[in-house]
Amino acid sequence: MVTLSSGFFRLWLLALIGSALPSLCAQAATPAEQLAAYSARAGTPAQPTRGQQFFNNRHGHDWSCSSCHTVNPTVPGKHASTGKVIGPMAPAYNPERFTDTAKTEKWFRRNCNDVVGRECSAGEKADVLAWLLTLKP
């Protein structure tokens, strides 16, 4: 009989909890995996040219993405109001970019609110990421 105090039950419970932890924590991903997820949610393939336009245009607000990240996202940018240096956005120039799903969502949410005044759609995120992935050394 298996009881709560049995060693087997404790090992089983630890294994169960351990297998659930990765889904509870921030999920690591590649930029390509995140692009695929955004495209799937959007229901359409991403369009890099549309992503570049979205990145560089103002959307009825004071800032565009390029206001802080520069029109050349292969180089560091600077926050428009705080002056804080921001690493390059293009994954080929900053290997940490778009490798953590939770972090990607956090920054899309904040930046889209500043730039567009709302959360960006999955299609908009896919387009921008698709464009950033075309930028190679």
Give the per-residue pLDDT at 7: 60
**Tokens at 100, concatenated:** 């953590």
Q: Domains (ranges, CATH) in the chain?
A: 43-134 (1.10.760.10)
Give the per-residue pLDDT at 120: 96
Tell me the whole-structure pTM to 2 decimals.
0.79
Count of Cβ atoms closer than 10 Å to residue 3 Cβ: 7
Give the per-residue pLDDT at 61: 84
Give the per-residue pLDDT at 123: 97
Q: Which residues contact 67 (CB under 8 A, 6 or more apart)?
A: 80, 115
Helices marked H in the chain: 7-24, 31-42, 48-56, 65-69, 101-115, 122-134
Give the pLDDT confidence of 103-128 residue by residue, as tens digits: 999 999 999 999 999 999 999 999 99
Which amino acid is residue 33, in one-letter code? E
28: left (phi over 0), alpha (psi -120 to 50) or beta: beta
Kindly list the distances between the CA atom of residue 101 and the CA atoms of 15, 29, 49, 57, 61, in Å, as whole numbers in the listed order.
24, 6, 23, 25, 27
Tell me which residues of the chain have a pLDDT lower than 50: 9, 12-14, 16-25
